[in-house]
Structures are given as C-alpha cells and as structure tokens.
Structure 1
C-alpha cells in the first residue's frame, strides 16, 4: 500500500540517502514536523548502500572537523535513540607515509588535530605494526594514529536517521519521483512528483536537493548551478581470513588505498590518480537504477591491488569474495555543497560528497537544518557553501574532465599551492597570451586563469611541489622586491565587479555596508557587509561613480556569494544589481615608481593633490581610456586600472614599453599574497569569515556606527561595550628558514590557542609571516603581545614575534607617498 502524498509541507527533501535522512531527522528535531522526504526508489539505493563507512574526524578546517566529530558522536548515540544498530565502532585509524613529503603532511595534520582537540599521536613504523600486525613496514617513514576514528554501517545509519525523523513527526515516502520544482517570483512554491504513474503537487516554500548523482540535472531544471558528476569507485572484499581480529582503519595514501577489516574479511578500496567518470558521455543514469553495481574493471584496479598485496602480504592467499564498482558523486574542488542556492530562494542543496558522505552527512544535516531554521548558518561554512559554485561549472564536459582528477586528489599529496591539471583555460583575461609569452605560470580560481608567478628565460614553466621552498620561491622574491623598491604590474581581471545602480542605490548600500558609503562621486570606500552577529559576509571596496551608481569590487572566488547577498537584501528600494565582471579588465600598477610610470603613459596628473588615495577618475592611457583607482592590496603607492576589455591588450603594451628602463616587473598572485600578508591585509575565507566579528578582525577603522542603521550595527555596538574575546595577530617567525601556509598551530606560553589563518613568506621582512586569532577575553593589547609565542609546524615549534599593527609600514605612509 502506497503512502498518500500530502498537499502541503514546510519542507520537501528530495533524496533518501544518508544526507537526505539526516536533514529530515534534524529538521524534525527542531520542530519542523511537516517535513516530507521523497525517495524515487528505496532509501539508500543510490550511493549510501555501498559506501565504505569510514569515520575520520580530522578535516581540512576547524568547522569541517567540527561537523565530522558531530557525525561520529551522533552515530554513537543513534542506536540507543532508535533501536537500529549503526555498526559504529571507534576502532581508530592509522595513516602511514612512504615518503618524506608525506611524512611532513601527516605530521602537519597531527599538529592540526591537536589544535582541534582530537586525540592523536605520531607513532613509529614499529608501533604501527604492533597495532596492525599484517602490515609490511619495510618502507614506511612515519605513521599517525587517531584512536577515536572508526567505521560504521552506512545503510543502517541512514535507516536509523529515517526512523528518528519519523519519530519526531517527519514523513518519508519511497517510490516517489520528483518531476519538477515549482517557482514563482524568484522563490520556491512547490514540487510536482509522481507516484505509481500518478502526478501530485506539494505546496512548499523549501526544497532540499539531496538527490546525489541525480542532483545536477534536477537543479538544472530550476536554473540552479550544482556542479557534480559521478565517478566509478572500486573496492574488493576478501573471503574470510583466519585469525583476522578487529583492526583500525588503515590508509596508505601513497598507494592510493585504504583498508577496513569487517567481520573477519578485509575491504581494500582505491582512490586512483585517474578516475572513470560515470555515466559515459552522452548517456543518462538509467530510470530503473536502484541498488545497482557497475561492470567490473579489474585491469583498472589491478595496479592498486598489486601494491596492496605487497603492503599486506596475507592478501596474496586471501580469496576475493566481492569485486565492487559503484558510482559516487564528485565536485570540481573535492568539497561538497551545502546551503541555499543563489539563483532561487528556498532551494537548498546538500550534495556532492566526494566519497566522504557518511562522515559528513550527520554534521551537514545538522548545519543545514539550523541554517534553514535560523536564516543563517550556525557558523562559517564557506568551505562547502553552494555560493562558491560558478555558473559555467554545470557544463557536463567540464565536469567529466575535472572529476577524473578530483577523485584521485583525495589521497594525493596535499601540497601547498597545488594546481588543478584538468578542465583548464575556461576563463581568460584579454592579455592571457601576452602573459604566457612572458613566462607566466598560471593557476586557476573560479575558472579564471591567473598568472601565479613568472618563470625566467630557460626556466621550466611548471610547479615542482614541496612542503619546503618550491621552485618559484626566488621568482617570487624578485617580484616581491620589485613591488617594494620599484614598480610591478599584476593582471587582476578576475576581480568580481558588481554595479549597484538606481535611485535608492546609496540608501541600499548604507543599509548593507558598515562604512560610510554616502561620499562624493569618485571616492572609494573600503568596507565590509556584516551579518546580524557582526560577522563579515563580504570584504570589498565601493566606488561611487555617480549620484545613483556604485561599483563594488570583490574577490573573484566570492562573486556569486556577494551577488546573492546583495540581491536577497533588496527590499523596497529602486536598485538594480548587475555582474559586470567580464566587461572590464584590471591591470594593477604598484610600487614606489608607479607614479613615474603612469606619467609616461598618460597626460593626466597623478600627484597627491590631483589624485589622492582612495579616489577614482577617468584617465587617458596610451591611446585608450581607463578608470584609475588609487588603492592597494600590497601596501605601496599604486593604481588599479579598469579598462574596457577591448582595450586591455593595448594598455598593457603601452605600460610595458614605457616601463622598460624603469625595470617594470610582471608579478603574479603569489607575490600579491606575500606583499599583502607583510602589510597585514586580511583575506576573505581565511582571515575573515561570516563567523569572525569585524572588531575582532581588527577592521574597526572601516566601521562607522554613526552613519545610520546597517545590518550588524547592534552587534558592533555590543562588542564595543563588552570588549573583544580574541584578536587577529600578525606573526613573524624568528627563524628565516621555515615556511607558513595555513593551519599551522599557534602556541602561547606553551599552550595551543589557535591556528594560522593564512601565511606566506615576507621577502622584505625576512621571514615567514602569518595571521591568526588569539583568545584575549579581558586582556589588554599589551598583555596579548607580552606573551611568548611559537608556531608548531609538523610537530616542531618555532618562535614567533607577534604584532597587532602591520609589521610593514604600520602608518601606511607608503601608500600615500
């Protein structure tokens, strides 16, 4: 007997895998009793049923770790709550390193785990063998043990979540396919579904796309970007092995393999370097797909198996019980998607779990339910926010190409600055070929090809990755010193450019921005858009072009997020928000000699009197026109030149020719970052997020509480009264040799207090520089600075000097010279 389809619901969840069941469970626990989960076939029948069920607590950031730890804790208590066994065993995990580079990586991970309060210890190869007697340790360099990691039964966890959801009032109906999500005036109003050949409509204001590998096509019907593509994922299960006792989960990333003992059998899974996308190009997932396996491909798996037999010699005589191949969804950056789609209000997403869906879904379900309930995420979720997705990324050819790489990257060396190799060259500046001809080595952000560094004549134009100084370190030093002592040029066409225009544009931005936006035309204002907690939703400059028009400049990676924030907050104002990113190129001329260079290519006056800091105006340049913004992200005198894309190549050529005898240096993104970190400038997504209070981030100078009511003003006033609980501190290592990247551990007077939010090498200051938050409730600035600080890097502590003021040019005299 089929369950009746309700006519109305507060939320409709599409997909009955572990993710959809978790969302239903958490919404119901929050009191959303009229939640309906629709599953096209049977619960768990897509990917969940064949997941390996590994529970690793440590993730790449504190909040992702927080979600994974929540999942582990939830799965432990679910059995008592629902009566369904989850198979959750905290039998621990071991990760081994076969190279010195991997040893550095896992030791860095161990330091990070300690900062996140995860039980962890570095162990010798001999200790690893004592925990895992079958292991060949002959070539193992090091190992790390997390005793509270574990494994579980994925299908039973989904069933327990589903039962818990029902117990709290949610409705779960199998055998119902969603045909269409209905929308009106930019928001969800219902879904059309089909049960036993009959169509029904459910009226709802909230839909959650938890449809796994079907999610992209479902989202596409509603104009929503959800970039994911399935890949074939392989593992084998042996026949029972005599005497095989309960063992930790074992990961050997250098051999692309993981091992899980279960009921006296051994499961060996692989994340091979070149994956197989599924279904093949031009094919769709079969309509009757349900608990299906994909055809075996032993040739594809064989190299992994050969290494596994060497690593675990007992496998040589173990029979193979199951050769399994099943589809799992992967994304272009190996991070899943969560949150409200920017294109359609009320359309929520939880999909694309990149083979970590079981450990992620408990926490992701909790976080998304809180987000839906409160109207804002419970903490910073930018790592997985759906608003990071770019519209072009839903292209199927792009996705098919990219996921051949992203599956393997799960176990590849996670070197700093590692660049994607597949699906490249999609978004390019008009001077891309000019830069390539001059030695540019490109990286990619949001699809944009950006010059990261410039190779010298005869130098190999590719990265040689390492945890130590990479092959471009000296190139960066030369570019960095050119910015500090001469003049350099950056191509920053990838900046996001948003035009806000209309009769009420100023009033609208005054309500969203924390700084004073009502300035004369031609003025540039550095500001943040805050949430009600005083956290930073956007970090930007706003240039007033006319009485009714402003240009907002944001990072290319956050453009979709910023557009969504602006559009969602338009109330009764007469305002139009337009993405202008592709219309203008941006060339940045920076350094103490930049004024001299500008005077050579333009008849306009670039003196302080004629063109002061934080102003913009139209100029003639070469035989073209540009809008010159006098601002800087490197801490030097300079101009950002906004040029119509059709004139960008000409302006570049004019600047290059005029700068020959000035020593004009082409500079890359790595140098932009090393210069900004010397100056202590913040980077959104690392140093500042929606969880970081604007005053604790040290950006109070950009907040004007007297400008009127704006979002977050009350939180700012409250923090001014109560004082800050932590401060963003700049650190410089006293030893000039070690490097800082991100997530190294801050140690204050012998105690771990936080992590480095971003780091780079300060070539002018002569050491690695990092930023990071230090707890300081009730303390003065002098007390914060009076402590003894070290930074822990892969288990080794290095002394660090702290500063609250920028270590380079603290009075900003150079930008106004």
Structure 2
C-alpha cells in the first residue's frame, strides 16, 4: 500500500517498518492475526532507520540464553527466505584475557545449542580470514552459522510476503489513550483506530512512548563504520555496487545503502580487544568501531529524513576514528585495524558514517505489554541479529499469551519492558547508562560488576546502619543492597577451615566474608535487609476468588495462614513465585522478590483483577527484615509480647504484632532453610525495627547478613529464585514445584499443565555437586553426559554447610536420577559432577520447623 491508502481502522498497528516491526507484523499474520497495519515515517523499504544503515553482521553467541536463542532463530529464518549470507563468524583474541573469554563463548554456544562452535589457532583463523595478521592474535572462536543479513532485501521480502498494510512516508504524531487503553494511532495523514499497537521505532522509541505518556529508557548512541575503496587483495570477489538499490527511494547518501547491500564472501570478524568488527563488501572491506567515547544523542532530537541525510546517520567524526577516545582502550580504531588487517592501512574510504542505534540501561531489549496502557506493546532495543526471533516472541505473546519460539517458551524476566525501575525513565539516567552499555559492548565485564554512576538512588531505612557496618553495596533494581559486611571479617577466622578460596574468574568481586555469614547464620542469628522485596495488598469483594484464579495453589486458607504459590501464564510458564498471606476476610498480602519482580508481577495482578478487587503494589512502602538462624526465636521473643513458640506461631503462619513499639506483619517463613521470620513494617518504622532487634541480640552475637550468603544458603536448601532457576520458560513440574500446584482448583495455565502432564515431563531441575573440586560452576556453562550437552548451569555456588560446590540445572528426565554421573565445562576446565536428591541441606526440615 502507499500513503494514500491509510486505513481509518486496524485491529493491530505496528509503528516502525524496520527489521523488528516487519518481523512482528509477519509473525502476527503467520499466527492468524487479521487486519495488521505497519506505518513508518520513511519511504519503504529504505526507511532511514538503523535497519538500513547497519552492516548486517550477525554474531549469535551470548551469555544470555534468550539472546542466543533469538539470534539462532533469526539466522535460520533469514537463511530460509534467502536473505542471509552464512559465511561464519570469527572472533579473535589479542590477549590471554580475551582468549579466556572466547572459551566462555564456546561454553555458552554449547549450552544454548548453537551448532559446531570451534576454538581456533592463529593459523586456523588466518586460513579463513587471510587479511588477518596471525602474529597479532592468540587464537579465535568460530561459529559456522554466523553471517550477514541483507537488510534492504529482507525488508522488501517482509513487505511482499506479509498479508498486512504497509504505509510509508507517514509520521505518527499521537497515541490516543482512553481509560488506560490504546484507542488510536494518529498520523500526519489521518487517524487509525485500533485495539493493539506495537512500538517498534527503536531509535525513536523514547519519542514514540512519550506520545502515550510513557518514559521508555531507550538511549540512542552514534557508532562508526567505514567501507574502503575496492582492494587489490579482494579483487577476485564480484561486486554489484551501483545496482543494489536501483529503483528505490533512498534518503540521504545512497552509497551507504549500496555498500550495506553488498554481501561478504569471507567470514565476518571481530577484534573485541579493541572494540572492532569487520566484513567484506564484495571487493571492499567494511570496518566498524565501538572504539570511541560514547556519542549519545538526545532521544528527543532524533529528527526525520531529509533530502541530504538519512535520519539515523550522523556525519563521520574523523577524530573518533583516528584518536583513542574510548576510556578503556589505548589505541584508536585505525591504529588497531592497521595492526590486525595491515592491508587496510593505506586505503581510502568510499563510505563513512556515524550510524545510530539504541541501548537500554542494562543493555537488553525492551519487549512485551506495557503496564501503563492496555493494548500497547513494545519491541525495542533489538538489532538485526535478534530481529526475527523477537518478532516471533512478541507475536506469540500477543496472540497466545506465551513468549515463545518454535523451540519452546523463553525466559521473559530479563527482556520485559516492565522490568525497569521507577527512575529508569529519567532521561539523564538512561542516557548515561546507555552510554556505559555502549562502552561495554565488547568489554570483558567482570562477574558482579557494578556501575559507579547514579548510585544511592533507592535505599532502605537500614542504609545508615548497614554503611556503618561496612556493607559492600550492589545495585539491584535501583536499590542499594548489601552483598556482605566488612564488620563480619572476624568470622572468616572462626570458619576458616570451611571457606575454600575461589581463584580466577569465579573469585572476582567475591569475598570469603560471604561464606562466614552463611555459616554464622546456620549456628546463631542474622538480620537480612529484605526491603527490595515487595508486598502487594489485595482486598475487596471477591479477593479470595480472584487469587484462586491467578494462583496455582489452593487459596482457601484461614486468616493468619501463609501459602506458597505460583503465578502462571496461559502456557503454564512461571510468571512468579509468591507468598500469599490471608490477613482478613477479604484482605491478603502477596509478597514477591526484589529487582524487577514488583513491576512485572504486580502489574500482571492489577490487570487481571476484577473491578471489585483492589490490587496495590507497595514497592518501597514497607521495609522488611529477615531474622534467621537457630537463635532467632530467642531474639524475637525478647522484643515482643506475642507468642512466637512453635505451637503459638507455627511454620507458614502470620501474625500482626509489635516488635518493641513497631507494628509488623510477621511471617514464619525462611528463605535460608533455618528457623526464622520475615518482619514487614511501614518504611517509616524500619530504622527503629533494626535498632530494636540489633540491641536485643548483642549477647546472642546477632550479625548482619548480605546477599552473597543468601544465595549459597538458598541453593543448599533448594529454594527457587525467579529469573534464575524459574521463569516463563519452565513449568512447575519441570521446576520441581508440584507442591505449589493444586490441580483440583481452576487457575490460569491449568489447561497447559494438564496437557504437559499428559505428554510427559521430559525435563527436570536437579542439583549437582562437583565430585573433586570446591570451584564454583558459573551460570550458563554446559552440563555434559558422555560428551554431549544435556543442560546448562542455572545457578551455582559453594555450599559452606554441606562442604560441596552446588550447581542447579535442568536435564532430560532420564538423566535426573540421583547418582547419575555428569560433567560440567567451566572456564575451560572439565569437572566431574553427580546428580543429587534435593534438598541437600536438612531434608527432614528439622531446622526450619523447630
């Protein structure tokens, strides 16, 4: 269609006709959606966005499973439609640290199912990439299904093969919202009434969100790329430059699109030590660079195409190519390329550009339904590499309620647009964080790395006490959370023989104090700041029936009782694990974890609640202390008149009571497998709650405890962590949580679980322990049986109480029997491991219910 054919009504409107918008539209119609319209401000197919100025290089391997899966789906999809050059991809190492990193990439590829990854010698790299100086490198990593996508050809294919309305040269000027729902997309050519809308404008994502009152944290950044004149060393390659865009309306410099449409005849390459990548364009060489200071673009000033300029391309800044301006690199892009690819040193450039693309504060995509506007979806911060995959994921989510690929459901917690903390939409914040992510694109980011900027934004009432106790803070969901406390350093000597050293990559940003806090809590009593966790108050007529509908467990509980349950999507995937407390006849408190949990889980409950039920997400409204350890009852009883004996306050019950003068909702639950309570109070009482417990427990050797100890303790006990062990890619039976499901009740996802049981559960979570090592197995590393990958590490830590290194993994059911011998590959080492029964600690629950 053309601009004069703009419809006045369409069931679904996709804004943006680039790689992602076209993919969403195609996959929606493939799944049966009717009446889809795609609009773009630029001409079709050369819209002027990053999809047409990008060189199209696709490296699929990532430490993120969902990113790797989305990339592999994309490469297979594009290969099937004939717009993908599967020439392979080679990443080189110029340092020992980078060679170690490439071994990690090999392990991630093995874990997530990329075919035939290889580690290469310098000579093997040179055989595949003759322009590379073998003397400059230590080796390489090769993924044979990596390659390059022809962006313009692919967009043309989508437009010709998608039964949807495509309308170019049409600017969206408003998004109309009524009663919290999207109602229409207003363009400069007219209004389109709609039921659903997808924002897929990428570089313009922030601006488009603003039309609906959303502060989407989408930060545009400039990026450099050059293409040489034809080179003698590549003279044997054919070239169609001059004909690639014939007959197309091309904004700005046509030469950019001409060369980007010219395919490679050799593997695409990366020199991540210097933040560089490269590929051939027929008989010319293209070179891209992140090796410069972040050149952030005001997200409100992206602009439009003009006769002379493509809207997502800025003028080439020569100084950033020839001078070392990147804060972590000591050579410029040109210097590094001259060394690695000597033939490029004296070449003239036929094309130069500073192209724009975007980053979120954590560097991951922003997809899914928005919390603020029903029917409004996002598909943003996505590159060509993952475009078809995320188009399929979003389409499945919209049509069937389940984010998935043909290979199965995907974990959505780390990509959900609702994950961002309340302050993330402030422009200075997300532009700064986006710039940092740009700098880190090819950096080796250490385990547990923490940003320096925008710290101290969200602090609990205990923050001053924690700081005085030497808390090592990490930022999680914007909160400052203590990982461990230097005031507990004396405990390291006490438990020295039970705390093995962690060397190498596993030991970076890790302290033995974490192990000491773990062991102390098992023997004495500790206080853990749970303020990042959130309560969700559910009340009003029909509250019980509502919770029964959304919770997988039986919610017919008495007042003062606590029940663990799951929230499931329509496919039976785990949206959340929650604790439900019945406080009154029609009053409940639902507790969920920290980080992105309250925004994802709370908004899901809000949108499913009937009019008679109030759902109030109390993120930050309550401060909470986990009081855990065998002496926790003695300490708590000193501070309250309430009966906290086992008979008077049994496990999985709750009381509204006082701790000193402080009103609390006390839950007899423990996330560490010890006797203990969660004490929830309004935030203004938090400081006094800490002081009361702290002063009363000095003779009991009460100590603060950080998140490092929490992680190792919960793994010993086998307690799940949403977003790590469980997510929307697993169902309760696979996740070992059948006790949280009552199939006699009706709940969202029940039909899918019944079907899963009927088909048979072919994957199960299980703990492994390393046979002869105290090293920690890191997440994402492959679990092998007879040399074949059967799973990967979901979470790993050292179990200081049981004296063994623990790794949790999902494996095929036939390998889940206790005693099965397996291996784990981590940091280039192969570790023997054994499948174990869970829980590894206190299987009789004697500690927790005493």
Provide TM-score, normalisation by structure 1: 0.92
CA distance in 2, matches of 1:26, 1:604: 59
* Superposition map of 1:585-624 within 5 A: 585-624=623-662
Secondary structure of 2:233's counterpart equals: coil
Report the Cα distance in structure 1 between the residues aligned to 2:793 and 2:283, rounded to whole angstroms: 43
Structure 1 residues 713 and 11, CA, compared in 2 at 3 Å: closer, same or farther? closer
Give the direction of change, closer, same or farther, for the CA distance of 1:722–1:4 in structure 2 (3 Å limit): closer
SS across alignment from 1:376: coil
- 2:72 equivalent in structure 1: 69
Q: CA deviation digits over 1:110-167, x for unaligned, max 9?
A: 12212314221111223222322332344634421112211122233222222222xx
CA contact (8 A) 1:429 1:585 kept: yes
- In the alignment, is residue 688 of structure 1 matched against residue 714 of structure 2? no
Contact 1:415/1:465 (CA < 8 Å) preserved in 2? no
Instruction: Trace 1:760-779 onto structure 2 (pairs within 5 A).
Output: 760-776=797-813
Residues 599-629 of structure 1 show CA distances to partners (whole Å, capped at 9, x for unaligned) of 3333433221222111221332233232221
Q: 8 Å contact 2:774–2:798 — kept in the other structure?
A: no
Contact kept, 8 Å, 2:90 with 2:269, in 1: the verdict is yes
1:171 aligned partner: 165
Shift of 1:258: 1.3
- Other structure's SS at 1:365 match: helix
Query: Do structure 1's residue 228 and structure 2's residue 218 form an aligned pair?
Result: yes
Aligned counterpart, 2:240:
none
1:240 aligns with 2:240: no
RMSD of the alignment, in Å? Answer: 2.4
The partner residue of 2:379 within 325, 335, 350 is 350
Matched position secondary structure for 1:408? helix
Cα distance, 1:465–1:431 mapped onto 2, change above 3 Å: farther
Is residue 220 of structure 2 the alignment partner of residue 194 of structure 1? Answer: no
Do the aligned partners of 1:274 and 1:405 also contact (CA within 8 Å) in 2? no
Which of 524, 539, 558 aligns to 1:501? It is: 539
Q: 1:323 to 1:700 in 2, by over 3 A?
A: same
SS of the aligned residue for 2:506 comes to coil
More displaced, 111-120 or 522-531?
A: 111-120
Q: 1:443 to 1:604 in 2, by over 3 A?
A: same
**Which of these residues, 290, 310, 334, is aligned with residue 291 of structure 1?**
310
| Structure 1 residue 340 corresponds to structure 2 residue 340 | no
Contact 1:487 1:662 in 2 (8 A): yes
CA displacement at 1:373 relative to structure 2 = 2.2
Q: What do the CA deviations read for 1:31-84 (whole angstroms, capped 9, x no partner)?
A: 4352211111224312222112111222334443222122112222324xxxxx
**Aligned residue in 1 for 2:257:** none
Q: 2:682 aligns with which of 644, 648, 651?
A: 644
* CA 493–465 in structure 1, closer or farther in 2 if over 3 Å, else same: farther
8 Å Cα contact 1:92-1:145 kept in structure 2: yes
> After the TM superposition, which residues 42-57 of structure 1 pair with which residues of structure 2 at under 5 Å, given as runs?
42-43=43-44, 44-57=47-60
In the alignment, structure 1 residue 180 sits paired with structure 2 residue 218: no
Q: Does the aligned pair in 1 maintain the 2:777–2:824 contact within 8 Å?
A: no
Cα-to-partner distance string for 1:389-447 (whole Å, 9 max, x where unaligned) = 23421111111111110112221114322223333322221222321232112222221
Match of residue 94 from structure 1: 90
- Matching residue of 1:799: 832
| Residue in structure 2 matching 1:277, options 296, 312, 317 | 296
1:633 equivalent in alignment to 2:671: yes
Secondary structure of the 1:773 match is: strand
Cα separation, 2, equivalents of 1:16 and 1:424: 37
Question: Relative to structure 1, is the Cα distance of residues 128 and 773 closer, same or farther in structure 2, using a 3 angstrom cutoff?
Answer: same
Q: Does 1:120 align with 2:117?
A: yes
Residue equivalent to 2:260: none
Please say if residues 217 and 430 of structure 2, whose CA atoms lie closer than 8 Å, have aligned partners that are also in contact. Answer: yes
Partner of 1:567: 606
User: 1:204 and 1:517, CA in 2 relative to 1: closer, same or farther beyond 3 A?
Assistant: same
Q: How does 1:212-223 map to 2 (within 5 A)?
A: 212-223=202-213
Q: Does the 8 A contact of 2:447 with 2:508 survive in 1?
A: no
Q: Distance in 1 between matches of 2:92 and 2:804?
A: 31
CA distance in 2, matches of 1:288, 1:718: 51
- 2:282 is matched with 263
* Structure 1 residue 720: Cα displacement: 4.8
CA change 1:249–1:207 in 2 (3 A) is same
- The match for 2:567 is 529
Question: How far apart are the structure 2 equivalents of 1:744 and 1:712?
Answer: 30
Distance in 2 between residues matched to 1:801 and 1:31, nearest whole Å? 46
Alignment of 1:639-788 (within 5 A): 639-706=677-744, 708-720=745-757, 723-776=760-813, 784-788=817-821
* CA distance, structure 2, for counterparts of residue 560 and residue 297 of structure 1: 40
Using the alignment, how far apart are the partners of 1:109 and 1:285 within structure 2?
A: 35
Cα deviations by residue, 1:466-515 (Å, 9 ceiling, x for unpaired): 51312533121111111222222211101122111111111110111121
- Number of equivalences: 788
Q: Which moved more, 1:650-659 or 1:327-336?
A: 650-659
Which of residues 308, 314, 317 is equivalent to 2:337?
Answer: 308
CA distance in 1, matches of 2:605, 2:772: 45
Worse overlay, 519-528 or 597-606: 597-606
Q: Secondary structure at the match of 2:104?
A: helix
Tell me the equivalent position of 1:399.
Answer: 430
Determine the C-alpha separation between the residues in 2 that align with 1:401 and 1:465: 33
Match of 1:368 in 2: 394
Q: Give the Cα–Cα distance (whole angstroms) in 2 for the partners of residues 150 and 214 of structure 1.
A: 27
Q: Deviation at 1:575?
A: 0.3
Is the alpha carbon distance of 1:800 and 1:273 closer, same or farther for their aligned partners in structure 2, counting shifts above 3 Å?
farther
Q: Is residue 518 of structure 1 aligned with residue 521 of structure 2?
A: no
- Once the two structures are TM-superposed, the CA of residue 570 in structure 1 deviates from its matched residue by 2.3
Change (3 A) 1:509 1:19: same
Alignment of 1:322-341 (within 5 A): 322-341=351-370
The yes-or-no answer on 1:152 pairing with 2:155 is: no
Distance 1:470 1:485, change over 3 A: farther
Distance in 2 between the 1:331 and 1:585 partners? Answer: 29
For 1:468, what is the secondary structure of its paired residue? helix
| CA distance in structure 1 between the aligned counterparts of 2:783 and 2:43, rounded to whole angstroms | 48
Match of 2:5 in 1: 4
Shift of 1:578: 0.6
Using the TM superposition, give the Cα deviation of residue 22 of structure 1 relative to its aligned residue in structure 2, in angstroms.
Answer: 1.7
Secondary structure, counterpart of 2:171 in structure 1: strand
How far does residue 816 in structure 1 lie from its aligned partner after superposition?
1.0
Question: In the alignment, is the contact (CA less than 8 A) between 2:173 and 2:211 conserved in 1?
Answer: no
8 Å Cα contact 2:93-2:271 kept in structure 1 = yes
Deviations 1:278-319 (A, max 9, x none): 028xx6233556614323333333223222222223332223
Question: Which consecutive residues of structure 2, in runs of 5 or more, have no partner in the other structure?
Answer: 238-264, 325-331, 491-501
Change (3 A) 1:172 1:371: same
117, 132, 135: which one pairs with 1:135? 132
2:276 matched to 1:250? no
- What does residue 242 of structure 2 align with? none
Question: Which residue number corresponds to residue 83 of structure 1?
Answer: none
- Contact 2:781/2:792, CA 8 A, preserved across alignment: yes
Question: What's the offset of the Cα at 1:187?
Answer: 2.1
| CA 1:716–1:6: 2 relative to 1, 3 Å | closer
